[in-house]
Structure 1
C-alpha cells in the first residue's frame, strides 16, 4: 500500500464520523465547512463560525472530525483524485435505486488505472461514496467535490412504489409516521431525501396524512401540479385517462397546503415557482391538464375523499363520465353507444361497488332503459 494510502486509512480509522443520530449537527458542520472554502468568505463569517464553535463542545468536536477527513483527502495523489472523479461520475449516472441497494460497480476504465487509484476502492471508496464522509470532498478545487456533494444530496434515503388494484384500497405507513390511503387503481412513488419528502402520483387518488417536519417539507407531484405541505391531511386526485376528469384536484381536510403549476419542476424548486395558491381546511382547487388553476372553492368535510367510505358523488355529470368513474372500481357491464344518451346529466351519491343499485336507479333517474346485448347491458334512450 502506498504511504499516502496508509495515512488516509489511519486517519479515517482514528477519527470516526459522527453517528447517524447527529444528522442535524452534521448538516451544520458541512454548511460551515463548505462556506469557509469560498473566496467570498468574510471576516464577519469567520467570527460567526468561531462563536458557533465556542457555543458547544460538540460543535467543535464534529468540525475537527471533518477537518481531519479533509486532510486525509487532501493527501491523495493526483491519480487517485482523477480516479475518484471518474468513479463519482459513473455512480451519478447509475439509477438511484441501484446505487442505494448495493456498492456501485467500478467503470471499465478503472482496470487500467495506476496502482494508487486501484487501491482506492477498498476502505476509502466505501467511505467516500455511500457514507456521509463523502460530503467532506465538496471543497476540492478540482471540482470533484461539487460532484460528490450533488451525488450525496441526490440519493434518496427511502424509496418505494405503491399501487392499488382495481376495486382495492390500500393503507400505507411511511417511515416518518406519515400515512397514505390509496383509492382504487392508484399508482405512486415515494422518495425521502435528506432535505425533503416527495411523492409522485402517477394516476388515481390518495389521501395524505403528513407528519410535520418544517426542515423537511413534503411535496406531492401530480401531473402539472405540485403540492407542498409541512403537516396536514389532504387529498389529491389525478386521472389523466378519464375524459372530463383528466386534471388534478386537491382538497384540504386539515392544515394548509401550497399548490403551484410546476411545469416539471422537482420538489426543491417548488418554493420558487410563482402563482402559488394556498389552501386551508375546507377548501379545494382544480387544475386542467395544462396546469391552469381554478379559483379556490369551498368543500364540505364529507366531500373530501368520500371514497374512503365507498361513496362517489355526481352533480350534473355527463352519464358517460359518471359511468367511466364507476368503471375505475370494477366492471359495470354497462355500455353506451348513443352520444345523446352519453350526454345526459346524472346527479346523486352511489356506492361504486354496488352495480345492481346503479342499474335499478338509472331508468328512474334518467329517460333511459337497459337493453340486453352481447356481453352485457346497453343504456339506450327511452322511446
Structure 2
C-alpha cells in the first residue's frame, strides 16, 4: 500500500483521532496529556483509531529516507503554526486539513517515482551455516563475504541498493555507483556508502548483545539511526563505531587494518568479554560441547584472540587464563571453578 492510500475519507471518530495525533506531534503539556488519556479511556475504538494514524505515519519509513526526513520536518513546521487554543475551532480544523493535504501532496510528489523505485531488479536471500563462510557477488559487481551463522537479503532497485542483515556479520566491497546509493540495514542502523570496503556486525543473540558494529577498511561510510538520519556520523578508513540497541552511536575510534573483520583470517578477538559471551561467540561457528551452570563463572572476563576453528586450543588454555577447570559430563564438558 502506498503511504497516502488510507488517509482519505475518514469519519468523525477518525477526525478526533487525527486531532489527537497532530497534537501529540506538536507536543502535549501535562493538562493536554491528561485529556488524551481520558479520551483513550472512554472507548477502545479511540485507541484503535489513533493507532491507525500512528501506523500511517510510521509507514512513511518505506519511502526514500531523504524524502521522509524532509516530509517530517515540513509537517512539524506546519504544526507549529496551528497549535490550538481550543480543540475544535476553525483554525485547528484548517491546520488538520493542511496536515492531511501535505501528506497527500507529498505522497503525490513521491508517487511519480514510487513504483519505479520500489520495483526490485534483483533480490537474493543468503544464509551461512555454523562454521561456514560464503563469498557472493551481486549483479552490480559488489561483493559480500559472509561469516558463520549470517543471514540476510540483498535487493537492487533502479535507484538504490539495499542489504538487510538481521543476524551475523559481513564484509562489503561495494561497486561505486553515485546514482544508486548502497545501504546496509542492521538492527537500528542504516549504513550508506557509494564505494568502499567495510564490515558490519549485528548479532543480537551473541557477543555485543544487540549492538551494531561498523568498521571501515577503505573509503568512507555514513552511519545513522535508520529512523533519525540527522544523528549520522561519517567514518573514514581505519575508523569504527558501535551503537546500542536503540541505535544511539558511541564515539568514533581508530581500528588497525588487521582488526577489520578479523574473522576473515580465522580470528575472533575479545576485549573484557564475559566467559558467557565468549562461548556464545564460539557457538556461532560450531558446537562447543562446553556448559556453564554457575553464574559466577559465566561472569568471569577475559581478553584474547582465538581461532574458532581450533576449539581444542581454547579448551587447553582456558584454565591457564581463568580460575576454572573442565569436568567431563558424558558428551558435554562443564566449566567449574578451580579448587
Q: TM-score range by the shorter chain?
A: 0.5 to 0.7
Residue 191 of structure 2 corresponds to residue 227 of structure 1: yes
Residue 249 of structure 2 corresponds to residue 293 of structure 1: yes
Is contact 2:207–2:278 with CA below 8 Å preserved after alignment? no
RMSD: 1.8
Bigger Cα displacement from structure 2, 238-247 vs 366-375: 238-247
SS of 2:231's equivalent in the other structure is: coil
Using the size of structure 2 for normalisation, the TM-score is 0.66
Aligned mate of 1:186, from 150, 162, 165: 150
Deviation at 1:145, TM superposition (A): 11
Counterparts in 2 of 1:16-165, with a 5 A limit? 149-165=113-129
Aligned to 2:54: none
Residue 231 of structure 2 corresponds to residue 275 of structure 1: yes
Between the aligned partners of 1:339 and 1:288, the Cα distance in structure 2 is: 24
Between the aligned partners of 1:360 and 1:144, the Cα distance in structure 2 is: 65
Aligned mate of 1:345, from 288, 298, 301: 301
Deviation at 1:148, TM superposition (A): 7.1
Deviation at 1:372, TM superposition (A): 1.0
Residue 123 of structure 2 corresponds to residue 167 of structure 1: no
Deviation at 1:347, TM superposition (A): 1.5
Aligned mate of 2:285, from 326, 329, 333: 329
Between the aligned partners of 2:111 and 2:240, the Cα distance in structure 1 is: 41
Q: Deviations over 1:180-213 (max 9, x none)?
A: 0000010111111111111111110000000111
Normalized per residue, which structure has more helix?
Answer: 1
Between the aligned partners of 1:146 and 1:291, the Cα distance in structure 2 is: 27
Is contact 2:216–2:235 with CA below 8 Å preserved after alignment? yes
Moved over 3 A (4+): 143-149
Q: Deviations over 1:133-166 (max 9, x none)?
A: xxxxxxxxxx999867522331111111111111
- Matched length: 233
Unaligned runs of 5+ in 2: 1-106
SS of 1:278's equivalent in the other structure is: strand
Between the aligned partners of 1:147 and 1:324, the Cα distance in structure 2 is: 46
SS of 2:230's equivalent in the other structure is: coil
Between the aligned partners of 1:257 and 1:147, the Cα distance in structure 2 is: 29
Is contact 2:117–2:160 with CA below 8 Å preserved after alignment? no
SS of 1:276's equivalent in the other structure is: strand
Deviation at 1:314, TM superposition (A): 1.1
Aligned to 1:92: none
Using the size of structure 1 for normalisation, the TM-score is 0.59
Alpha-carbon distance change, 274 to 315 in structure 1, aligned in 2, over 3 angstroms: same
SS of 1:157's equivalent in the other structure is: strand
Aligned to 1:365: 321
Aligned to 1:97: none
Normalized per residue, which structure has more strand?
Answer: 2
Deviation at 1:223, TM superposition (A): 0.9
Aligned to 1:315: 271
Between the aligned partners of 1:362 and 1:146, the Cα distance in structure 2 is: 58
Deviation at 1:323, TM superposition (A): 0.8
Between the aligned partners of 1:202 and 1:147, the Cα distance in structure 2 is: 29
Between the aligned partners of 2:208 and 2:184, the Cα distance in structure 1 is: 22
Is contact 2:165–2:202 with CA below 8 Å preserved after alignment? yes
Counterparts in 2 of 1:6-17, with a 5 A limit? none
Between the aligned partners of 1:370 and 1:150, the Cα distance in structure 2 is: 60
